[in-house]
Amino acid sequence: MDEPVGATAAGAVPGARRRRRIGVLLVVALLAYLIDLGGKMLVVSGLEGRQPIQVIGDVVTLQVIRNGGAAFGMGQAMTIVFTMIATAVIVVIWRIARKLYSLPWAIALGLLLGGALGNLTDRLFRAPSVFRGHVVDFISVQHFAVFNLADSAIVCGGILVVLLSFRGSNPDGSTHQAVKGG
């Protein structure tokens, strides 16, 4: 048994074998990061300065956009703040990872970590300068934002965290119950 079944809020399960899931978190993070980095390298070298490529008519297109802000281009003057937020997210995930025994949480946190690292890499190493670099976005959905694969990993990881939380699952493999009262 890899994950404790019927764990208490403290996470104690007598006789249950527990395995940390840091390896899973790191593999998922690395895959998300490399897929994002590879996608950005491909579109920058093959698409930048060119007309958008239609993938599904006008609904989904590929086009390179340099984004200094957050989602929907908001906060263009706050690039350094987004760099600090991404760094803080990475630190928090690393702290949670020390007590990570849940496979679903490892996947969720790996997606968040890989996505945060992908966008942080852009912020650190892309123009216009260190800590102020613009993120490469390239997936355009009609009537929506232009985003990248790191953003997709962050959103999927975030949705999974919310679902796991609603299920009562904790990163340490324990479960919590809603408090019933009158």
Catalytic residues: 137, 151
The sheet carrying 135-141 orders its strands as 53-56, 60-67, 135-141, 146-147
Report the C-alpha gap between 46 and 139 in whole angstroms.
14
Residue 135: how many other CB atoms lie within 10 Å: 25
**In the chain, how many H helices and how many E strands?**
4, 4
In which element (H, E) is residue 63 found?
Answer: strand 60-67
Residue appearing with tokens 């840091």? 22
